[in-house]
Chain A
């Protein structure tokens, strides 16, 4: 599984756009990039998934450059409720038994 590297923590203010970058230099051809959000005492919540270029949904955008060695999760206009830990994971989960291996994640703190 590709190893990922993210900043340990980030601070932001309400209303700002937050971009969290993840490095995955050893990403394989069939690997997808998935981001999860976790609040204390809750299971991780799926945010977004992509393979290349840009993916956008109702909560976030995911930017993936052509070489796919990194990705950036973009959260538009964050609020206090976006304070959480964000995990970037890489893998080919179509392969039976391929598990999500979590790194340390990025703790995002949003202040008013």
Chain B
């Protein structure tokens, strides 16, 4: 199946700093990418939807100035957590939808720990 890769797999950062997570579609062009966060033993929560070349659409309650999403090309989207705080510690997962077809594929996820 299609491959979506996230980097880094895990990252530790200090409170107040910013951290960037990359999401790449390796073998297909993704017009739309989605970002989720997941707390332990909970389901995935959609944070935002990004379409290539346009601004991301954020879900209610997600701070767009804190979680910056960029989708500059058809194979790359980035999530930047700005001024991170310990409560931002979570598992962040991206997914991508190909230009054709009805299937969405997920990355491996990225663990963020803010200390």
Residue positions of A touching B, CB distance < 8 A: 32, 34, 36, 41-46, 49, 87, 92-94, 96-97, 99-105
Whether A43 lies near B43 (C-beta < 8 A) is: no
Report the separation of the CA atoms of residues A103 and B43 in the bound assembly, to the nearest whole angstrom: 7
Interface residues of B, dominant DSSP: strand
User: Contacts A43-B95, A96-B51, A97-B57: A36 and B106 contacting too (C-beta < 8 A)?
Assistant: yes
Q: Which residues of A contact B43 (CB under 8 A)?
A: 87, 102-105
Whether A43 lies near B106 (C-beta < 8 A) is: yes
Residue positions of B touching A, CB distance < 8 A: 1, 4, 6, 31-32, 34, 36, 43-46, 49, 51, 57, 91, 93-95, 97, 101-109, 111
- Total A-B contacts with CB atoms under 8 angstroms apart: 62
Report the separation of the CA atoms of residues A46 and B97 in the bound assembly, to the nearest whole angstrom: 12
For B9, the closest partner residue in chain A by CB is A41
User: Contacts A99-B34, A99-B46: A49 and B103 contacting too (C-beta < 8 A)?
Assistant: yes
For B45, the closest partner residue in chain A by CB is A102
Whether B31 lies near A43 (C-beta < 8 A) is: no
For B107, the closest partner residue in chain A by CB is A43
Whether A44 lies near B32 (C-beta < 8 A) is: no
A34, A99, A101, A104 interface centre (most CB from chain B within 10 Å): A99
Report the separation of the CA atoms of residues A101 and B43 in the bound assembly, to the nearest whole angstrom: 10
Q: Which residues of A contact B4 (CB under 8 A)?
A: 43
Whether B108 lies near A42 (C-beta < 8 A) is: yes
A1 shortest CB reach to chain B, Å: 11
> Could you list 19 examples of A-B contacts with CB < 8 Å?
A34-B102, A43-B93, A43-B95, A43-B108, A43-B109, A46-B104, A92-B102, A93-B102, A94-B101, A94-B102, A97-B51, A97-B57, A99-B34, A100-B46, A100-B104, A102-B43, A102-B44, A102-B46, A105-B43
Report the separation of the CA atoms of residues A100 and B44 in the bound assembly, to the nearest whole angstrom: 10
Whether A34 lies near B103 (C-beta < 8 A) is: yes
A6 shortest CB reach to chain B, Å: 11
Q: List 10 additional contacts besides A41-B111, A43-B107; criterion CB under 8 Å.
A: A34-B102, A34-B103, A36-B106, A41-B91, A43-B95, A44-B93, A44-B95, A97-B51, A97-B57, A102-B45
